[in-house]
Structure 1
Amino acid sequence: MSEADAKAAPTRRADYPHLRPLDTRWGDNDAYGHVNNVVYYAFFDTAVNRHLIEHGVLDVVRSPVIGLVVETRCRFFSSIAFPDTVHAGLKVTHLGRSSVRYEIGLFRNDVDTAAAVGQFVHVYVDRASQRPVPLPEPVRALLQTLQRR
């Protein structure tokens, strides 16, 4: 672990240009009484893809260009448990030619500091060939709205 990683601190709601509520479910809790770590990754995937779908730049069945997840990571700060409501903060930290790096902050109920912060990288590919392609302009335009200046 690097010194920077050791000093990482949870982000705040104001760090994200977009927040989305996500419900926890009874089955999300593990034997220790909190949401299992694998569920955090499902929250990341849901927050990102739901945003793309709702803004009309992703049709999971027909889009000729799709984003494939090539990297994820998560730093945990505090527990979330059912029946909490998770608020997923979404921002873009890098926008490349064919890839995008998201940061997702997961906030428990009304707490202002993140319970977890994740990174999620999509590489955009042609659905048929699975070869990288440039980000489609409508996708790029939407993702630019998630960048902090």
Structure 2
Amino acid sequence: MPTIDEQPYTLVVPTRWKDNDVYGHVNNVEYYSFFDTVINTYLIREGGLDIHHGPVIGLCVESHCRYDAPLAFPEPVTAGLAVTKLGRSSVRYAVTLFGADGAPAAEGWFVHVFVDRETRRPAGAPDGLRAALERLLVTPAA
């Protein structure tokens, strides 16, 4: 399992009181929100993705999460992000969530297809966005 130091990009995401469920840990659905947060933060900040007016948007077409250890409010989550496959209009991310102790809590993948905002047909990622994604490209572990 990857470590924090092996992540090409990380983002600390605070947990919220409402994230905990009745069992006292962050509910499984919130992990996907952490995935979305690290991915879209990177795309906006580093890739220049204009989520409001840009001609291209990213749509999630597949995602997966394996849960390894519980997270709980108020501990922060460090989300690690890498790109394991980059096509003309699609990208597959590897996302690893780490607890406050630095140990992996979950790992998974998320696939975006970049589409034309109006037609929703696949479109190539704009140059700046593609360059940002290339900076995260790693060879997946066998």
TM-score range, shorter chain: over 0.9
Structure 1 residue ranges, 4+ long, deviating more than 3 angstroms after superposition:
none
1:89 partnered with 2:62: no
Aligned match of 1:80: 71
CA offsets per residue over residues 31-79 of structure 1, 9 Å max, x none? Answer: 1110001000000001000111112521111011011000000011000
- Distance between the aligned counterparts of 1:24 and 1:75, measured in 2? 19
Could you list the runs of 5+ residues in structure 1 that have no partner in the other structure?
1-9
2: CA distance, partners of 1:131 / 1:56:
21
**Alignment check: 8 A CA contact 2:47 2:131 kept:** no
Q: Which residue of 2 aligns with 1:106?
A: 97
Q: Percent identity?
A: 52
Measured after TM superposition, the shift of residue 133 of structure 1 is 1.1
Q: How many residues align?
A: 139
Which TM-score applies when normalising by structure 2? 0.94
TM-score normalised by L of structure 1: 0.89
Q: Distance in 2 between matches of 1:128 and 1:34?
A: 40
The residue aligned with 1:36 is 27
Give the alignment's Cα RMSD to 1 decimal: 1.1
* 1:6 aligned residue: none
Q: Which runs of 5+ in 2 are unaligned?
A: none
Contact 2:78 2:97 in 1 (8 A): yes
Aligned to 1:71: 62
